[in-house]
Amino acid sequence: MILILLGAPGAGKGTQAERLVTEYGLVQLSTGEMLRSEVKSGSELGQKAKEIMESGQLVPDDLIIKMISVRISQESDAEGIILDGFPRTTEQAKALDIMLKEKDLRINHVIQLEVNEEEIVERLSGRFSCTDCGMGYHEKFSAPANKGICDKCKSTNFTRRSDDSPKTLRNRLSAYKEQTALILPYYSTKGCLKSIDGMAEMDIVFDEIKKVIDGD
């Protein structure tokens, strides 16, 4: 199964993807996460992507397409793949169609998480994650049960994303509106697009996604 999660920065794609991995045993491919680890490792790709990501713009299509196609090939035996943060441009959406066709795969669902922009700023400015296991948290909405200790792995090390600053966030939102939102009609014409209210509580959003997957 190929599932695409679409939505503005902060819509909750990463959070929902993590839950889907647990529930359905799917593999999550997040281009944002991949790029952050490229930056961390100081690879050639990471060096090219670093400044672009810090400014909140999109990394060039050719780099992204190359990076993700390698991973999709590696995961071709998986139960299913969740694409989180990809595609983000029409060019990427077209390249994905070609990649999948070559592997005899198809997109089962494209799920759009719809959110309100002002609330997104609040969501993103409070988020952080566990440095050791990557578990995502939010100061207000989903803090660890014991302050300062990761629920999942008990680590006490947490990190914040450097691109969650207000200025970069504005750029990320405009990149979404000007480039990524354009692919919504592409998928709605294909008949595989479902929109879900991403402002609802996390559990409700998750239930709605499950309904789409289970075909209810």
The one-letter amino acid at 76:
S
**Is the torsion defined by CA of 60, 63, 64, 65 positive or negative?**
positive
Q: Does 58 bind ligand ADP (CB under 6 A)?
A: yes
Would you count residue 12 as binding ligand ADP (CB under 6 A)? no
Among 3, 150, 169, 205, contact with Zn ion (rule: CB under 5 A): 150
Q: Quick one: which of 40, 66, 103, 152 contacts Zn ion (CB under 5 A)?
A: 152
Q: Select the span of 108-116, 122-130, 166-174, 182-190 touching Zn ion (CB under 5 A).
A: 122-130
Could you confirm whether 88 is annotated as catalytic?
yes
45 binds ligand ADP (CB under 6 A): no
Question: Which range touches Zn ion (CB under 5 A), out of 19-27, 42-50, 153-161, 186-194?
Answer: 153-161
Q: Rule CB under 6 A: is residue 15 a binding residue for ligand ADP?
A: no
Q: Total residues at the site for ligand ADP (CB under 6 A)?
A: 17
For residues 28 and 180, give the distance between their C-alpha atoms in angstroms, rounded to a whole number: 20
Which of 85, 110, 96, 97 shows the shortest CA–CA distance to 3? 110
SS3 11: coil
Give the closest residue to 85 by CA, choosing from 196, 1, 172: 172
User: What would the two tokens of residue 50 be?
Assistant: 């670093």
Query: What is the closest distance, in whole angstroms, from the C-beta atom of residue 92 to ligand ADP in the complex?
Result: 6
Q: Is 140 a catalytic residue?
A: no
Is residue 198 part of the contact set for ligand ADP (CB under 6 A)?
no
The catalytically annotated residue of 13, 36, 50, 123 is 13
Q: With residue 113 as reference, give the H or E element that holds it.
A: strand 109-114
Q: Is 71 part of the annotated catalytic residue set? A: no
CA distance 7 to 146: 30
Site residues for ligand ADP, 67-86, by CB under 6 A, read 85-86
Measured from the CB of residue 200, what is the shortest distance to ligand ADP in angstroms? 19
| Residue from 102, 85, 81 nearest 93 by CA | 85
Give the C-alpha separation, 134 to 31, whole Å. 15
Catalytic member of 36, 50, 123, 127? 127
Q: Which sequence positions are flagged as catalytic?
A: 13, 88, 127, 161, 172
